[in-house]
Structure 1
Amino acid sequence: MKTLYDVMQLLKRYGTFIYTGDYQADLEMMEDEIKELYRLQFITPKEYSTALLILRQKSSSRKK
């Protein structure tokens, strides 16, 4: 997993599609969903940490 698209595909595997029209809100919702998938042990610790890293990088680069 290397891109935001990859994170979106991971979420899609579990039936989660996020698009509100607000990019920042989408990133926050994706992060919440990733945390929930990890809490429920649907994704591995590596998938969890990689996905969060990608989402947070996108979020911080957007705020600049």
Structure 2
Amino acid sequence: MKTVYDVMQLLKRFGIYIYTKDRLADLEMMEDEIKELYKMQMIEAKDFQIAILIVRQEQNKYKR
């Protein structure tokens, strides 16, 4: 995983589609969903860490 698109593809594997026309809201929802998948042990720790890092980096771009 290297991009937000890759994170979206990870979520799609679990039937999770996120699009609200508000990029920042989308990123926040993605972060929440990633955390839930990790809590339910559906994704590995490495994938969780990388996905959260990518989403947070993208959030920082939009908050500036």
Cα distance in structure 2, aligned partners of 1:13 and 1:50: 16
Cα deviation for residue 41 of structure 1 reads 0.3
Percentage of pairs with the same residue: 62
Cα distance in structure 2, aligned partners of 1:22 and 1:3: 18
Cα distance in structure 1, aligned partners of 2:38 and 2:26: 18
List structure 1 segments (4+ residues) > 3 angstroms apart after TM superposition. none
CA-based RMSD of the aligned residues comes to: 0.4
Q: Which consecutive unaligned segments of at least 5 residues does structure 1 have?
A: none
Cα distance in structure 2, aligned partners of 1:7 and 1:41: 17
Cα distance in structure 2, aligned partners of 1:9 and 1:57: 17
Q: SS where residue 21 of structure 1 aligns?
A: coil
Q: SS where residue 11 of structure 2 aligns?
A: helix
Cα distance in structure 2, aligned partners of 1:43 and 1:10: 9
1:8 is the counterpart of 2:23: no
Q: TM-score, normalised by structure 1?
A: 0.98
- Per the alignment, residue 55 of structure 2 pairs with 55
Q: TM-score, normalised by structure 2?
A: 0.98
- Per the alignment, residue 18 of structure 2 pairs with 18
